[in-house]
Amino acid sequence: MTQPVALEHVVVTGGAGFIGSAFTRNYLAWHPSARVTVIDKLTYAGNLQNLAPVDGDGRYRFVQADICDYDAVAPVLAGADAVVNFAAESHVDRSILDPDVFVRTNVLGVNALLRAATGAGVRRFLQVSTDEVYGHVGEGATPEDAPLKPRNPYSASKAGAELLAWSYFSNFTLPVLVTRGENTIGPYQYPEKATPLFITNALDDQPLPIYGQGEAVRHYLYVDDHAAAIDLVLHQGVPGEAYNIGADEAINTVALAERILDLLGKPRSLMRFVPDRPGHDYRYNLDCTKLEGLGWRRRYDFARTLEATVVWYRTHQDWWRAIKSGEYQDYYRRQYGAALAGAR
């Protein structure tokens, strides 16, 4: 293990999204002398309300910018100690509907950011990646040196970002670290991913669309545990290395939907089986030995993770009701309209 590196000024790109905002809120609490500058384009998924708890904290600053725009981003990075890049198009189903924007932000945007970070001479560049870069894992647990075999435009663009980041490590000695986290849930997650979609639909007695037979397996990680792991890797990880971040329990989609309905006291009849996602990865499973070697322990098991998430959505309906209008309705109709009309 290396000595923890001191990082006073951290630039968090994509910090108005779900995990980036959790990281920002926590980082300011965990490191009282640190400063955080958030850069975010505020796409449909970015929301300044996610950062409202730190608004007014003199150590926090927000800059609206696109990570593809080198000229806008480079001056913000000048003098920074570290960059943690969360900025991405992040939803698999949208990447199947419209791949282009995924390549733009997740590959070209990351290249612009890597170039700016190299110019600024930052001491750490942490690229937040995903377990999805490994693709479907039929059996066993995946270590970090397993081949990357992404199978949808989202995961392919995230794998492309990683490969570019490694090239900056090799060619320009940029101190790159990569984390590959599992499915993450908790407060402030845009209600397009399965868990917040199921919870908010159930609260409105709307159907829960389950792809195929609902047999795909995921592990659900609490967002604060994910943020804590990124903080650990940022300070104590070895540049040039990737770190898996995983949750404990394997849950298929039917079990996830049932647990949510039970927690909310809603009937199981709200589950609707719709046509499967094309190229659906049926299983991910990470080997987290390397992260545990840095001393990481998750604080939330699956039961606590899901309960905390359900309670937050039940008690923060203003936040998600404001989102579930406008653009969201167009996306929902495009993604689910015909499928739900023909569902059993």
Residues of this chain that bind ligand NAD (CB under 6 A):
14, 16-20, 40-43, 45-46, 66-68, 86-90, 105, 109, 128, 130, 158, 181, 183-184, 190
Does 136 interact with ligand TYD (rule: CB under 6 A)? no
Instruction: Report residue 151 as tokens.
Output: 């199978």
Largest CA distance in the chain: 58
Q: Which of 81, 89, 93, 132 is catalytic?
A: 132
Q: What is the rounded (10 degree) CA torsion for 110, 112, 113, 115? A: 120
Residue nearest to ligand TYD (CB): 216
Q: Which of 60, 154, 313, 332 is catalytic?
A: 154
Stretch that binds ligand TYD, among 65-73, 103-111, 137-145, 190-198 (CB under 6 A): 190-198
Q: Is 154 a catalytic residue?
A: yes
Does 105 interact with ligand TYD (rule: CB under 6 A)? no
The total of other beta-carbon atoms located within 10 Å of residue 279's CB is 14
Q: What does 199 interact with, of ligand TYD, ligand NAD, none (CB < 5 to 8 A by kind)?
A: none
Q: Distance (Å, rounded) from C-alpha 273 to C-alpha 116? A: 46
Q: Cα–Cα–Cα angle for 193, 102, 214, nearest 5°?
A: 30
Does 92 interact with ligand TYD (rule: CB under 6 A)? yes
Q: Which of 12, 113, 122, 194 binds ligand TYD (CB under 6 A)?
A: 194
Closest distance of CB 13 from ligand NAD, Å? 6
Does 210 interact with ligand TYD (rule: CB under 6 A)? yes
User: What phi and psi, each to the nearest 5 degrees, are found at residue 62?
Assistant: -115, 135
Residues contacting residue 68 through CB under 8 Å, at least 6 positions apart: 104, 105, 108, 109, 112
Q: Is 132 a catalytic residue?
A: yes
**DSSP annotation string for 239-292:** TT-EEEE--S--EEHHHHHHHHHHHHT--GGGEEEEPPPTT---B--B--HHHH
Nearer to ligand TYD among residue 68 and residue 260 (C-beta): 260
Does 127 interact with ligand TYD (rule: CB under 6 A)? no
Nearer to ligand TYD among residue 70 and residue 282 (C-beta): 282
Q: What does 84 interact with, of ligand TYD, ligand NAD, none (CB < 5 to 8 A by kind)?
A: none
Q: Distance (Å, rounded) from C-alpha 41 to C-alpha 64? A: 5
Q: Distance (Å, rounded) from C-alpha 268 to C-alpha 261? A: 6
Catalytic sites, residue numbers: 131-132, 154
Q: Please report, as ranges, the residues that interact with ligand TYD according to CB under 6 A.
A: 92-93, 183, 193-194, 197, 209-211, 216, 218, 253, 277
